[in-house]
Structure 1
Amino acid sequence: MTRRIAVLLVPMLALAGVIASGTWLVTHGRDAAWSSSASGGTAGWQGWGGMMGPAPTLGGMMGGPGWLDGESEPVNDLAEAREQAGRFADAIAADLRVGEVMRFENHYYAELEDSEGANVTEVLVDPRTGGVRTEFGPAMMWNTGLGISSGASRSPQLSADQARGAAERELPAGMTLGPAEAFPSYYTMHTLRDGQIQGMLSVHAVTGDVWDHTWHGRFVEMSEPE
Structure 2
Amino acid sequence: MRTARELWVPLVALLAMLGSGAWLITHDEDDGRGFGRWGGTGMPMMGGSAESRWLAGDRDPVDDLAEARDRAEDFAETLGPGLRVGEVMRFTNNYYAELEETDGAKATEVLVDASTGAVQLEFGPAMMWNTRYGMMARPGAPARLSAEQARATAQAWADDHEGLTVAEPEAFPGYYTLHTLQDDRIEGMLSVSAVTGAVWYHSWHGEFQEMSEGT
Is the shorter-chain TM-score for this pair beyond 0.5, marking a shared fold?
yes
Q: Which moved more, 1:140-149 or 1:170-179?
A: 170-179
Aligned to 1:46: none
- TM (normalized to structure 2)? 0.79
Cα deviation code 1:83-122 (max 9, x no counterpart): 0000000112231100000000000000000101000000
* Corresponding residue number in structure 1 for 2:176: 187
The residue correspondences of 1:82-97 to structure 2 (distance < 5 A) are: 82-97=69-84
Tell me the CA shift for residue 152 of structure 1: 5.3
Structure 2 partner of 1:40? none
**SS of 2:31's equivalent?**
helix
How many residue pairs get aligned? The number is 186
Coordinate RMSD, CA, aligned: 2.6
Comparing 146-155 with 71-80, greater Cα deviation is found at 146-155
Tell me which residue corresponds to 2:15.
Answer: 16
Q: Which runs of 5+ in 1 are unaligned?
A: 1-11, 38-60
Q: How far apart are 1:63 and its partner, in Å?
A: 2.2
Q: Structure 1 length as normaliser, TM-score?
A: 0.75
- Choose between structure 1 and 2: higher strand proportion: 2
Relative to structure 1, the CA distance from residue 136 to residue 13 in structure 2 (aligned partners, 3 Å threshold; closer, same or farther) is closer
- Note the residue ranges of structure 2 that are not aligned, 5 or more in a row: 1-10, 19-23, 36-45
Instruction: Tell whether 2:104 aligns with 1:120.
Output: no
Match of 2:163 in 1: 174
- Between the aligned partners of 1:76 and 1:177, the Cα distance in structure 2 is 29
Moved more, 75-84 or 91-100: 91-100
Aligned to 1:215: 204
Equivalents in 2 of 1:179, 1:117: separation in Å? 16
Query: C-alpha separation between the residues in 1 aligned to 2:162 and 2:148?
Result: 20
Percent of aligned positions with the same letter in both sequences?
53
Change (3 A) 1:119 1:62: closer
Per-residue deviation, residues 132-153 of structure 1 (Å, max 9, x unmatched): 0000000000000000121255
Relative to its length, the structure with more helix (as a share) is 1
Runs of 4+ in 1 over 4 A off after TM superposition: none
Structure 1 position 173, deviation (Å): 3.8
Determine the structure 1 residue equivalent to 2:214: 225
